[in-house]
Structure formats: C-alpha cells, structure tokens
C-alpha cells in the first residue's frame, strides 16, 4: 500500500510541475501596444506617445499622461529582461519631467523583432 501511495504522490508531483510549466505567460499573444491607452491607475487617465526603446539593459520612453484633456509629461525606465526571444520591459519606475511626481507601474511591454505588445489589462 505504501508503494502505491508513493507512486500516486510522484504522479501528482509531475502533473503539478507540468501544469506550472504550461501556465507560463505567452508574451507573443499579448495585444499590440497602441497609443493612446488607459493608464493602469485608472481614473480616466490616458497614456500617449509611449514608444519604449531598449538600450544598456533598460527600456525607456517619454510619455504623456492626459488628465481631463491636459497633458502631463513623464518618463519611465524599465528593467529589460530577455525572454522568449524578445525583451520584457518590467519593473517600471516613472517620474514627471518637472519632478512633481514619481512612482512605479505594473504595466509591462514585450518587444520582439521590433513589434511592441502590451500586457493585457
């Protein structure tokens, strides 16, 4: 009986690890990055002119946050992580160009062969 229980535990363990591996994100299936798009912070804020560029292990872009029709000028720096044959821009830190605000963002961009895809919101 113990050998049978051990065998079941081994099968369950393999099944769980296979499930975890197959649950990996398919970044290539993310929608294309289109400007403008809604801010992850909500409140009707729209983000525009978002064109990340990869250099020196970072993804960077200037962008505009539009609040009630008024533009606010910002920049963001992400870690550039090689994944699935492309670059995942993740762990973003943004700041206002005038120094009035800063923060982090859960937003992510995947860049492969020049195509930019945004994490689904």
When pLDDT is cut at 50, 70 and 90, the band that residue 11 belongs to is: very low
When pLDDT is cut at 50, 70 and 90, the band that residue 5 belongs to is: very low
CA atoms within 13 A on the CB side of 112: 17
Number of domains within the chain:
1
Is residue 105 included in any domain, yes or no?
Answer: yes
Tens digit of each residue's pLDDT (9 = 90 or more) over 105-119: 999 999 999 999 999
Run of H or E including 12 = helix 2-22
pLDDT of residue 121: 85
Is residue 3 included in any domain, yes or no?
Answer: no
Tens digit of each residue's pLDDT (9 = 90 or more) over 52-81: 999 999 999 999 999 999 999 999 999 999
* Token code pair at residue 9: 């535990």
Q: Report if pTM > 0.85.
A: no
Q: Which residues contact 28 (CB under 8 A, 6 or more apart)?
A: 84, 86, 110, 112, 117
Is residue 9 included in any domain, yes or no?
Answer: no
**Mapping DSSP to helix (H, G, I), strand (E, B) and coil, where does residue 16 land?**
helix
Query: Residue 114: which domain range?
Result: 30-118
């Amino acid at each position: 009986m113990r050998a049978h229980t051990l065998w079941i535990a081994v099968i369950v363990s393999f099944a769980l690890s296979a499930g975890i591996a197959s649950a990996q994100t398919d970044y290539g299936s993310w929608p294309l990055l289109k400007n403008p798009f809604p801010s992850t912070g909500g409140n009707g804020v729209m983000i525009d002119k978002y064109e990340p560029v990869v250099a020196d292990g970072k993804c960077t872009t200037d962008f505009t946050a539009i609040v009630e029709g008024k533009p606010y000028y910002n920049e963001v720096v992400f870690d550039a992580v090689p994944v699935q044959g492309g670059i995942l821009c993740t762990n973003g830190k943004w700041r206002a160009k005038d120094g009035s605000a800063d923060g982090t963002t859960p937003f992510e961009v995947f860049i492969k062969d020049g195509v930019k895809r945004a994490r689904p919101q």
